[in-house]
Amino acid sequence: MKNTYFLPLGGTGEIGMNLNLYGYGEGKDIEWFMVDCGVTFSQAGLPGIDLQMPDPTFIASQKEKLMGIILTHAHEDHIGAMPFIWPFFKCPIYTTEFTAALLMEKFDEYNIDYTNKIIIHNDGEIINIGNFQVKAIGLTHSIPEMNALLIKSPSANIFHTGDWKIDKDPIIGDGFNKEKLLDFEDIEIDALVCDSTNAMTPGISGSELSVKNSLEEIIGKIEGRIFLSTFASNVARLCSVAEAAAKHDRHVVLSGRGMHRIVNAAKSVGLLGGLPDFVDEENAGYLPAEKTLILCTGSQGEYRAALSKIARDEHQHIVAEKGDTVIFSSKIIPGNEAGIINLQNQFAKKDIKIITGKDEFVHVSGHPCQDELIEMYNLIQPKSIIPVHGEFRHLVANANLAKNNGIKNSLVIENGTVVKISNKDVSIHHQVESGRLYKDGKIIIYDYESPSNERSKISFTGLIVISIVLQNNKIKSKPKIKMIGLPEFDEEGIKLSDWVNQALDNVISSKNKSGNLESKIKNAVIRQIREVWGKKPKVEVIFH
Amino acid sequence: MKNTYFLPLGGTGEIGMNLNLYGYGEGKDIEWFMVDCGVTFSQAGLPGIDLQMPDPTFIASQKEKLMGIILTHAHEDHIGAMPFIWPFFKCPIYTTEFTAALLMEKFDEYNIDYTNKIIIHNDGEIINIGNFQVKAIGLTHSIPEMNALLIKSPSANIFHTGDWKIDKDPIIGDGFNKEKLLDFEDIEIDALVCDSTNAMTPGISGSELSVKNSLEEIIGKIEGRIFLSTFASNVARLCSVAEAAAKHDRHVVLSGRGMHRIVNAAKSVGLLGGLPDFVDEENAGYLPAEKTLILCTGSQGEYRAALSKIARDEHQHIVAEKGDTVIFSSKIIPGNEAGIINLQNQFAKKDIKIITGKDEFVHVSGHPCQDELIEMYNLIQPKSIIPVHGEFRHLVANANLAKNNGIKNSLVIENGTVVKISNKDVSIHHQVESGRLYKDGKIIIYDYESPSNERSKISFTGLIVISIVLQNNKIKSKPKIKMIGLPEFDEEGIKLSDWVNQALDNVISSKNKSGNLESKIKNAVIRQIREVWGKKPKVEVIFH
């Protein structure tokens, strides 16, 4: 019997790198389409890995079965993996104009030919993919043109929320309109596949308009130069800041590549009409401090971003001085705490005032809090919920909230779980392999074969390389030693290289000639260094 | 003219590794005493460094001038560096009984002989060190027996707060007693050297009794097994948990080395009388879930701590199951977010409930918030304030708060700044060298000569070692190559080692024999690998 299936390969059990598949068919004969194809940024423990993305092997091994990719919106965790994964499929890509503008820029950067492959749809349009009829439904989020998906297969109806919030005053685009969701009142939704990011947070996320009003008030009270950092992709926020600045007679300087990239994309699709022009960075120095607002990248403390450069006095055109104010109109993405705090301390040291969400109302989240989730449950009235877009604590919170608000079934799953969705229920069908791809330099590599583990290990233990010339199975001359990442001296002031030499001498002069020379050397050196250093270095032996 | 000086070598401009010096004298003839000698735990960017501590070179280079060390309390950031720094000085150590118990345990661990060197004082006692008369004044904090210091030199009076809060119901020890501070009303305090940790936080920190009451209520509502993790050094909290558990007929199991260590120290000085006995870990399995509370280490997500082991099902005696509850009676120390979140997700995946400070009232800070700081300013009425124990943002906040509350002078300084304190004012005198010592394995090393930088670099770039045998200045046989931490293949599936060989062949077969062979090889290999990988590996060449 043909069935409808849902399979997340990324973004379920984690925040980031979303990649979801919906399939319809029987046995091995299932046709799929993909929803989103995103990345996660690097993290501690994976040194030298710039990006991570879902391992698409499951679908790549049957690539003729992938009918298309729908991109719900342009955040990196939803489109960032496209340049690395899509070229393998070259299937049709369905998305809206703004998302397409940013995607095309990405593809151009990697010289990827996408001619005739991107199909633009508007809010409310139907996309036919294989056996599916998918309706794009514009919801509010922290980036323009986010679309939820009403997915109809011959055997089930699914509402895939994408990333959303209820914002009646989103500054850019239409406000959240529940009519769009009531519109399909006559359809019974079998499964709600729902954003869980803020499922642990009570109340509502708040509107962009309320942030705008607050920023207007805050900016009005500040005297010196203002640096305001936010997520560049939040076009509404950029608009709000520009308008708030104009109201208080400040010119807005754009700083940072991300800001320019988004502003260009937004302008190209007609999203920033009516705003005063931004001032070029090169001209920022000519403006009086009290007439300046610098809208810059770097709210996460990124070392190379504009705000960090300014803090270090390394920016080519812009300086920050005593009396200035830095506003972080953003949240802290977990893992970035140390960098952000370090940045704030650099400003504090210069007697520059810092305003964060702890001090004033300067930011709202783009994801639904509990009251918004409950409203969604009530609007959609699904038979079941499958929480996605969250770590396990978020998925569980979303499931429990749904249960407490009238949704009978919930299914907490993880990446790689194939769920069967019918008009009766949702159930775990089977598990497929899932994992990650890493971008290491420009090479894309499977997580299980990544050299970052070995690099991480050496970063704790250092490395000793011993090179030996053998002649007629005898050591010809004194072995050469390279020690990388070890202390030079032990606690008594004896060189660690002397200890290595001594261990080598012992092995070489030993009368016991049985056993493998390489492992005898390795063991002796590791044992000796462990004794004086307390750690076991990696040892490599080269024989000539 | 003889003057009084203050010099922080650690803990000012950072949270952690406190080390302060107070001196009296003239020119080079200044006698000093030290207040506290702590560590900071490892951080990102310093792989393989277990501990950091202040570089004491300034005082070590004139060690006969150090008259003694006063330890205000037993937290690691105040005593943790003693086993590594004190043996160089062997000066008298002044502290209270509980702190001494933990210090002696540390010294014993490192086989350090401290016979007759630890001088125990009580709350209110006077310590005479060199030209100084120092009065220990017990204040409340999150560990027993924290003492502030009233420091009198012939030319100035200083109040060194140590770490403190206003807690009228601290569970262990006397409540905050302002009489102790009013007691020296007739003394004019020239400088208040003051804890800044919570200077950005409005209101008050709250009392341990209020946490106890809240925990009692929370525990009463829970049905399954309870895991409660907190900072082991907070003896009052351990007491509160034990009493709350007893009230609801739960036995308390202690889990984790830190818990046992603190409980033993506390018992040895008579601090835990009247509590029911703790249950041994080995016997935890015999208790019914609803009668059990496991008090465990690991609130910061430490990989090897009890709570993490339990989450991974790797604990020898204790299991956590669906229906159990984990209470984090603690805050998140910045930098530990990722580990803590990971731990919480492990429990969420097992359907184990998690309670943190976001959900319920389960923790109070041990440091003064703004209302408490203001009360201290008013009690002490110092002429000047020198904020310490904080990052720059905290120091600036403390200085500004003091300014807004009637303290005329404030001096925000950093580690290495020598401040002259007189009965007129405080002023920057000069700057001395300051820095850090790292504990790498068991070797203590200066930050500037630490191999962790090189290790960190290699963790991003990997390493290629090329070993070459020369004979009569000619390369004898094929060079041997070891590649560590590089991907095996490039994007086209060509081995990176083939690329290295090709680069080597080009150099070897080149007709241009001028120039240094080693740097020619390095440059050629780096250039080649950069082209296919996008990153520049470290290259080492060995010649035989």
Residue A184 has pLDDT above 70, yes or no: no
pLDDT digits (tens, 9 = 90+) for B482-514: 999 999 999 999 999 999 999 999 998 887 777
User: Which amino acid would we find at residue A445?
Assistant: I
Q: Would you give the DSSP letter of residue B365?
A: -
pLDDT digits (tens, 9 = 90+) for B448-469: 999 999 999 999 999 999 999 9
Mutation target vs B (from A345, A370, A445, A531; most B CBs, 10 A cutoff): A345
CA–CA min distance A182, chain B (Å)? 34
Domain with CATH 3.60.15.10 in chain A: 3-203+365-449
Considering only residues B179 and B308, tell me which one the structure prediction assigns the higher pLDDT.
B308
Alpha carbon distance A172, A512 (integer Å):
80
Sign of the alpha-carbon dihedral angle for A526, A528, A531, A537: negative
Helix (H, G, I), strand (E, B) or coil at B52: strand
Contact of A276 with chain B, judged by CB distance below 8 Å, is answered with no
Looking at residue A474, what is its pLDDT?
A: 80
What is the mean predicted confidence (pLDDT) over B161-185? 90
Alpha carbon distance B322, B224 (integer Å):
9
Q: Would you give the DSSP letter of residue A232?
A: T
Q: Out of A354, A391, A463, name the one closest to residue B484 (CB).
A: A463
Across the interface, whether the CB atoms of B337 and A341 are under 8 A apart is answered: no
Residue A183 has pLDDT above 80, yes or no: no
Looking at residue A473, what is its pLDDT?
A: 76
CATH of B3-203+365-449, one of 3.60.15.10, 3.30.565.10, 1.10.10.10, 2.60.40.1180: 3.60.15.10
Looking at residue B355, what is its pLDDT?
A: 97
Residue B445 has pLDDT above 70, yes or no: yes
Phi and psi dihedrals of A52, rounded to 5?
A: -125, 150
Show residues of chain B in contact with A542, CB under 8 Å.
465, 467, 480, 482, 542
Q: Which CATH code fits A209-355? A: 3.40.50.10710
Looking at residue A335, what is its pLDDT?
A: 85
Residue A187 has pLDDT above 80, yes or no: yes
Alpha carbon distance B320, A468 (integer Å):
53
CA–CA min distance B25, chain A (Å)? 31
For chain B, what is the mean pLDDT? 95
Are the C-beta atoms of residues B354 and B345 closer than 8 Å to each other?
no
What is the mean predicted confidence (pLDDT) over A103-118? 97
Task: Tokens 């005082």: give the residue.
Answer: B59
Looking at residue B42, what is its pLDDT?
A: 77
**String of b and e for B50-84 (b: at least 16 CB within 10 Å)?**
bbbbbbbebbeeeeebbbbbbbbbbbbbbbbbbbb
Q: Which of residues 35-64 of B touch A (CB under 8 A)?
A: 43-44, 47-48
**Least confidently predicted of A43-47, A366-370, B82-86:** A43-47
Looking at residue A472, what is its pLDDT?
A: 79
pTM of the prediction? 0.94
DSSP B459-475: HHH-EEEEEE-EETTEE
Looking at residue A334, what is its pLDDT?
A: 86
Show residues of chain A in contact with B540, CB under 8 Å.
465, 482, 484
pLDDT digits (tens, 9 = 90+) for B308-360: 999 999 999 999 999 999 999 999 998 899 899 999 999 999 999 999 999 99
Share of residues in chain B with pLDDT > 90 (%):
90
Residue A96 has pLDDT above 80, yes or no: yes
Tokens of A191: 């499964």
Are the C-beta atoms of residues B70 and B33 closer than 8 Å to each other?
yes
DSSP A405-447: TT--EE----TTEEEEE-SS-EEEEEE----EEEEETTEEEEG
Q: Out of B338, B393, B484, name the one closest to residue A344 (CB).
A: B393
What is the mean predicted confidence (pLDDT) over B201-228? 98
Mutation target vs A (from B88, B197, B345, B526; most A CBs, 10 A cutoff): B345
Domain with CATH 3.40.50.10710 in chain B: 209-355
Domain B462-543 classification at class level: alpha beta
Show residues of chain A in contact with B532, CB under 8 Å.
443
Show residues of chain A in contact with B391, CB under 8 Å.
341, 345, 348
Helix (H, G, I), strand (E, B) or coil at B345: helix
What is the mean predicted confidence (pLDDT) over B251-272? 94
Looking at residue A148, what is its pLDDT?
A: 97
What ipTM is given for this predicted complex? 0.92
Q: Which of residues 251-270 of B touch A (CB under 8 A)?
A: none
For chain A, what is the mean pLDDT? 95
Helix (H, G, I), strand (E, B) or coil at A275: coil
Identify the CA nearest to A76 among candidates A439, A476, A517: A439
Looking at residue A459, what is its pLDDT?
A: 96
Region of A220 please: left (phi>0), alpha (psi -120 to 50) or beta. alpha
Alpha carbon distance A206, A218 (integer Å):
18
User: Which amino acid would we find at residue B87?
Assistant: P
Residue B181 has pLDDT above 90, yes or no: no
Domain with CATH 3.10.20.580 in chain B: 462-543
Across the interface, whether the CB atoms of A345 and B455 are under 8 A apart is answered: no
pLDDT digits (tens, 9 = 90+) for A14-40: 999 999 999 999 988 999 999 999 999
Show residues of chain B in contact with A491, CB under 8 Å.
442-444
What is the mean predicted confidence (pLDDT) over B370-374? 98
Any residues with CB less than 8 A from the CB of A338 and at least 6 apart, and which? A301, B43, B44, B334, B335
What is the mean predicted confidence (pLDDT) over B430-436? 96
Helix (H, G, I), strand (E, B) or coil at A105: helix
Number of H helices, E strands in chain A: 15, 29
Looking at residue A44, what is its pLDDT?
A: 77
CA–CA min distance B121, chain A (Å)? 34
Residue A138 has pLDDT above 70, yes or no: yes
Are the C-beta atoms of residues A361 and A331 closer than 8 Å to each other?
no
pLDDT digits (tens, 9 = 90+) for A37-76: 999 987 778 999 999 999 999 999 999 999 999 999 999 9
pLDDT digits (tens, 9 = 90+) for A258-307: 999 999 999 999 998 888 889 989 999 899 999 999 999 999 999 999 99
Looking at residue B185, what is its pLDDT?
A: 61
Are the C-beta atoms of residues B120 and B138 closer than 8 Å to each other?
no
Looking at residue B183, what is its pLDDT?
A: 67
Identify the CA nearest to B456 among candidates B55, B80, B42, B77: B42
Q: Report in angstroms the alpha-carbon separations of B176 from B97, B139, B164, B170, B179.
A: 19, 6, 9, 8, 9
Share of residues in chain A with pLDDT > 90 (%):
90
pLDDT digits (tens, 9 = 90+) for B405-417: 999 999 999 999 9
Q: Out of A444, A459, A489, name the one closest to residue B458 (CB).
A: A459
Across the interface, whether the CB atoms of A459 and B463 are under 8 A apart is answered: no
Cα end-to-end distance, chain B, whole Å: 64
Q: Which of residues 71-110 of B touch A (CB under 8 A)?
A: none
- How many contacts (CB atoms, under 8 Å) link A and B? 197
